[in-house]
Amino acid sequence: MNFSYHVEGYSVRHFVAGIFDRSRKPTTLSYAINFFLFSLIILNVAAVTLESIESVRARWQSQLTAFELLSVFIFTIEYLLRIWSAPENQELAGETGSKKRRAYIFS
Residue 6 has pLDDT above 70, yes or no: no
* Whole-prediction pTM: 0.82
What's the burial of 44, exposed, middle or buried (CB within 10 Å: 0-12/13-18/19+)? middle
Q: What is the pLDDT of residues 23-62, one digit of tens each?
A: 778 889 999 999 999 999 999 999 999 999 999 999 999 9
Residue 65 has pLDDT above 80, yes or no: yes
C-alpha distances (whole Å) from 12 to each of 6, 9, 16, 34, 38 are 5, 9, 6, 18, 24
Distance CA 55, CA 91 (A): 48
pLDDT at 1: 47
Ordered alpha helix ranges (H), the chain: 12-20, 28-51, 54-85, 97-105
